[in-house]
């Protein structure tokens, strides 16, 4: 409801600022995600543009990428901040964040498309993802794009239980999973963008300063 009112009263520009604040709330709860939403959003926007997506569809992907993990606001802090590998029941709990994010956003009429993209951001091209096991084109394009950007950011970030991958290793891993986890078209777009991304300091968490939503136009 709050999002709907802001969207109506203040237009899309201010709307981005409200989204920043929501993401700040999430990142306060799960400091480890600091910068994640912003990185995933920037990379997803690049991927969408590379594929030729424009206008509202592009903006929806940009916003959905910022909000993709917003459902984690409803997941226990203990599980979110756990420093060791998750137990099976904890994994089940954390996987609920995709649906919980959908529930939060779907309450707003103007966010239905964004809610749907968020709902499916952990589906896999081969149908082995969650929450519904959708496959190939039945997964919204925005979700297929966010999956790739989300994986790249996760792989290239230090976690308490494993070190960040080098970019080269990450590129190989993404390409190894074409047609399994990832849409071949999205990986093709990523392959055109590696050089640009490697040069972006914000994608290196050590240099990360701000979670501010950048302009995507
Ligand atoms: Fe997620
Ligand atoms: Fe994520």
Identify the CATH number of the domain in which residue 42 sits.
Answer: 1.10.3210.10
Ligand 1 centre from 42 Cα, in Å? Answer: 16
* CA of 149, nearest ligand number: 2
Asked if pLDDT for residue 211 goes beyond 60, the answer is no
Asked if pLDDT for residue 74 goes beyond 70, the answer is yes
91 located within any domain: yes
Ligand 1 centre from 68 Cα, in Å? Answer: 6
216 located within any domain: no
pLDDT of residue 201: 60
**pLDDT single digits (tens) 127-171:** 999 999 999 999 999 999 999 999 999 998 877 777 888 889 999
38 located within any domain: yes
Ligand 1 centre from 121 Cα, in Å? Answer: 6
Ligand 2 centre from 17 Cα, in Å? Answer: 20
The parent domain of residue 140 ranges over: 2-207
212 located within any domain: no
Asked if pLDDT for residue 114 goes beyond 50, the answer is yes
* CA of 118, nearest ligand number: 1
Report how far residue 119's alpha carbon sits from residue 132's, in angstroms, rounded to the nearest whole number.
9
Looking at the DSSP assignment, which residues form a beta bridge with residue 162? 159
67 located within any domain: yes
123 located within any domain: yes
Ligand 2 centre from 102 Cα, in Å? Answer: 14
Among the residue ranges 82-86, 98-102, 158-162, 211-215, the one predicted with the least confidence is 211-215
DSSP 102-148: HHHHHTSGGGHHHHHHHHTTT--TTS--SSS---GGGS-HHHHHHHH
Ligand 1 centre from 37 Cα, in Å? Answer: 10
pLDDT band of 207, cuts 50, 70, 90: very low
Count of structural domains, the chain: 1
Ligand 1 centre from 75 Cα, in Å? Answer: 12
214 located within any domain: no
Report how far residue 20's alpha carbon sits from residue 8's, in angstroms, rounded to the nearest whole number.
17
* CA of 71, nearest ligand number: 1
82 located within any domain: yes
């Amino acid at each position: 409801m709050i999002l709907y009112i802001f969207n109506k009263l203040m237009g899309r520009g201010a709307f981005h600022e409200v989204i920043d604040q929501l993401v700040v709330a999430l990142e306060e709860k799960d400091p480890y995600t600091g910068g994640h939403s912003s990185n995933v959003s920037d990379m997803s926007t690049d991927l969408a543009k590379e594929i030729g997506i424009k206008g509202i569809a592009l903006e929806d992907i940009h916003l959905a990428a910022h909000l993709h993990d917003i459902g984690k606001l409803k997941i226990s802090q203990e599980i979110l901040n756990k420093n060791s590998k998750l137990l099976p029941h904890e994994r089940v709990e954390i996987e609920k964040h995709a649906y919980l994010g959908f529930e939060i956003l779907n309450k707003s009429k103007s966010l239905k498309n964004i809610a749907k993209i968020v709902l499916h951001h952990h589906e896999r091209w081969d149908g082995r993802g969650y929450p519904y096991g959708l496959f190939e084109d039945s997964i919204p394009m925005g979700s297929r794009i966010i999956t790739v950007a989300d994986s790249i950011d996760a792989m290239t970030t230090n976690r308490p239980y494993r070190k960040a991958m080098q970019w080269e290793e990450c590129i190989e891993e993404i390409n190894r999973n074409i047609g399994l986890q990832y849409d071949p078209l999205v990986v093709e777009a990523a392959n055109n963008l590696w050089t640009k991304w490697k040069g972006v300091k914000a994608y290196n968490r050590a240099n990360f300063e701000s979670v501010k939503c950048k302009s995507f136009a």
